[in-house]
Protein backbone atom coordinates (compact mmCIF):
# COMPACT_ATOMS: atom_id res chain seq x y z
CA UNK A 1 0.00 0.00 0.00
CA UNK A 2 1.15 3.58 -0.66
CA UNK A 3 0.56 4.83 2.86
CA UNK A 4 3.44 2.80 4.28
CA UNK A 5 5.90 4.25 1.71
CA UNK A 6 4.72 7.78 2.51
CA UNK A 7 5.38 7.23 6.22
CA UNK A 8 8.94 5.88 5.72
CA UNK A 9 10.17 8.67 3.43
CA UNK A 10 9.77 11.52 5.96
CA UNK A 11 11.30 9.43 8.75
CA UNK A 12 14.53 8.74 6.79
CA UNK A 13 16.12 12.14 7.59
CA UNK A 14 15.12 11.77 11.25
CA UNK A 15 16.86 8.42 11.47
CA UNK A 16 20.01 9.90 9.89
CA UNK A 17 20.10 12.62 12.53
CA UNK A 18 19.53 10.13 15.33
CA UNK A 19 22.49 8.10 14.02
CA UNK A 20 24.76 11.18 14.18
CA UNK A 21 24.70 12.09 10.51
CA UNK A 22 23.66 15.36 8.88
CA UNK A 23 23.94 18.65 10.76
CA UNK A 24 23.24 17.00 14.10
CA UNK A 25 26.96 16.32 14.67
CA UNK A 26 29.60 18.56 16.22
CA UNK A 27 29.99 20.72 13.09
CA UNK A 28 26.35 21.76 13.22
CA UNK A 29 26.50 22.72 16.86
CA UNK A 30 26.21 26.43 17.70
CA UNK A 31 28.95 25.94 20.29
CA UNK A 32 31.34 24.85 17.53
CA UNK A 33 30.71 28.06 15.59
CA UNK A 34 31.13 30.15 18.75
CA UNK A 35 34.46 28.52 19.55
CA UNK A 36 35.58 28.87 15.93
CA UNK A 37 34.72 32.60 15.92
CA UNK A 38 36.57 33.16 19.21
CA UNK A 39 39.67 31.40 17.88
CA UNK A 40 39.53 33.44 14.68
CA UNK A 41 39.16 36.69 16.61
CA UNK A 42 42.10 35.77 18.85
CA UNK A 43 44.29 34.90 15.85
CA UNK A 44 43.44 38.03 13.85
CA UNK A 45 43.04 40.71 16.54
CA UNK A 46 44.38 39.84 19.96
CA UNK A 47 47.60 37.97 19.14
CA UNK A 48 49.04 40.61 16.76
CA UNK A 49 48.38 43.33 19.35
CA UNK A 50 50.13 41.29 22.05
CA UNK A 51 53.14 40.88 19.74
CA UNK A 52 53.22 44.61 19.00
CA UNK A 53 53.04 45.46 22.72
CA UNK A 54 55.91 43.07 23.46
CA UNK A 55 58.08 44.67 20.74
CA UNK A 56 57.28 48.17 22.07
CA UNK A 57 58.29 47.19 25.61
CA UNK A 58 61.57 45.78 24.29
CA UNK A 59 62.20 49.03 22.38
CA UNK A 60 61.54 51.11 25.51
CA UNK A 61 64.02 49.02 27.47
CA UNK A 62 66.73 49.76 24.87
CA UNK A 63 66.44 53.57 24.97
CA UNK A 64 69.85 55.06 25.75
CA UNK A 65 71.41 58.47 26.14
CA UNK A 66 71.90 60.08 22.72
CA UNK A 67 69.06 58.23 20.98
CA UNK A 68 66.68 60.21 18.79
CA UNK A 69 63.10 59.67 19.90
CA UNK A 70 59.61 60.65 18.85
CA UNK A 71 56.97 60.84 21.57
CA UNK A 72 53.36 59.81 21.29
CA UNK A 73 52.53 63.53 21.29
CA UNK A 74 54.75 64.11 18.25
CA UNK A 75 57.77 65.77 19.89
CA UNK A 76 61.10 64.98 18.24
CA UNK A 77 64.20 65.12 20.39
CA UNK A 78 67.36 63.53 21.72
CA UNK A 79 67.60 61.68 25.03
CA UNK A 80 69.99 63.53 27.35
CA UNK A 81 69.20 61.84 30.66
CA UNK A 82 67.80 58.56 31.94
CA UNK A 83 66.14 57.52 35.17
CA UNK A 84 64.00 54.48 35.90
CA UNK A 85 60.80 55.59 34.20
CA UNK A 86 61.66 59.19 33.38
CA UNK A 87 63.68 60.42 30.40
CA UNK A 88 65.07 63.88 29.84
CA UNK A 89 64.67 64.79 26.18
CA UNK A 90 66.19 67.82 24.50
CA UNK A 91 63.66 69.08 21.92
CA UNK A 92 65.58 72.27 20.98
CA UNK A 93 68.95 73.75 21.98
CA UNK A 94 68.86 74.25 25.76
CA UNK A 95 65.19 73.15 25.95
CA UNK A 96 64.78 69.95 27.90
CA UNK A 97 61.60 68.19 28.98
CA UNK A 98 61.08 65.25 31.29
CA UNK A 99 58.92 62.50 29.85
CA UNK A 100 57.63 59.18 31.00
CA UNK A 101 59.39 56.29 29.28
CA UNK A 102 55.96 55.03 28.14
CA UNK A 103 55.47 58.26 26.14
CA UNK A 104 58.14 57.24 23.62
CA UNK A 105 56.61 56.03 20.35
CA UNK A 106 59.74 55.38 18.27
CA UNK A 107 63.48 55.31 18.79
CA UNK A 108 66.41 55.79 16.43
CA UNK A 109 69.83 55.00 17.84
CA UNK A 110 72.33 57.84 17.46
CA UNK A 111 71.85 61.49 16.61
CA UNK A 112 68.51 63.28 16.41
CA UNK A 113 67.20 64.56 13.10
CA UNK A 114 68.63 67.96 12.24
CA UNK A 115 71.68 67.56 14.51
CA UNK A 116 74.88 68.38 12.64
CA UNK A 117 77.30 67.93 15.51
Residues in CB range of 107: below 8 A, 6 or more apart: 59, 60, 62, 63, 67, 68, 69
Q: What is the mean pLDDT of each run of 10 residues along the chain (117 residues)?
A: 52 52 68 91 92 94 94 94 93 95 90 50
pLDDT at residue 112, as a whole number: 47
- pLDDT score for 100: 94
Contact 99, 71 (CB under 8 A): yes
Amino acid sequence: MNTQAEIEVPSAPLRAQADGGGFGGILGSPIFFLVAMLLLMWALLIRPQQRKDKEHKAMLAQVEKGDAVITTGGLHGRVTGLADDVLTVEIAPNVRVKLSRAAIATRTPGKAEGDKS
